[in-house]
């Protein structure tokens, strides 16, 4: 287990690639459950448990669906499991680090917590771009574009399905 955690941290630090993850159905299912749990805990900071659970499940479906489409279009479907494992594991790690800052923002508006969240969001985008570029055998800038497309489209889907997420001014 330690080796897997180290591998996912190395992906977050751009030292390893999704291809370094062992192809395993057990690991795939395990990481879906870890991602669901982490996402649920993070969402619980801003909503009730039922909505947090719904949103976490939709997030999983978005990752699974978007990755399948992108890899299918690029004829790299064989990399699906490893790519999804890398995306979910690295997102769970970054979300874990975001929890204290998100809790601070929920309780009191803090400029430092806001900067930490922005920094983690940029790190998440860069790591996702790294994963997509390696999975698709494309340059890093292409991977960043795909990651941006994923982030933008997932925000749009979440806002459509959960309009209460949009803050009215």
Spatial distance between the Cα atoms of 137 and 54, rounded to a whole number of angstroms: 34
Which tens digits make up the pLDDT trace of 102-134? 888 777 777 888 899 899 999 999 999 999 999
143-to-6, 26, 53, 138 alpha-carbon distances in Å: 23, 27, 29, 7
Neighbours of 19 (CB within 10 A): 13
Conformational region of residue 65, where left means phi above 0, alpha means psi within -120 to 50, and beta covers everything else:
alpha
- The per-residue pLDDT for 166 is 63
- The per-residue pLDDT for 167 is 54
Which tens digits make up the pLDDT trace of 64-93? 999 999 999 999 999 999 999 999 999 999
- Whole-model pTM: value is 0.90
């Amino acid at each position: 287990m330690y080796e897997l955690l180290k591998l996912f941290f190395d992906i977050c630090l751009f030292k390893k690639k999704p291809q370094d993850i062992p192809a395993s159905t057990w690991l795939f299912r395990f990481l879906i459950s870890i991602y669901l749990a982490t996402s649920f805990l993070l969402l619980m900071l801003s909503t009730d448990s039922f909505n947090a659970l719904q949103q976490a499940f939709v997030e999983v479906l978005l990752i699974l669906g978007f990755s399948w489409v992108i890899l299918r279009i690029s004829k790299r479907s064989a990399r699906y499991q490893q790519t999804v494992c890398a995306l979910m594991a690295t997102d769970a790690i970054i979300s874990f680090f975001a929890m204290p800052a998100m809790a601070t923002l929920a309780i009191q508006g803090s400029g430092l917590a806001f900067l930490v969240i922005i920094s983690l969001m940029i790190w998440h985008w860069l790591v996702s771009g790294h994963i997509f570029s390696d999975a698709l055998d494309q340059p890093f800038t292409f991977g960043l574009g795909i990651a941006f497309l994923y982030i933008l489209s997932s925000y749009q889907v979440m806002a459509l399905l959960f309009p209460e997420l949009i803050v009215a001014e």
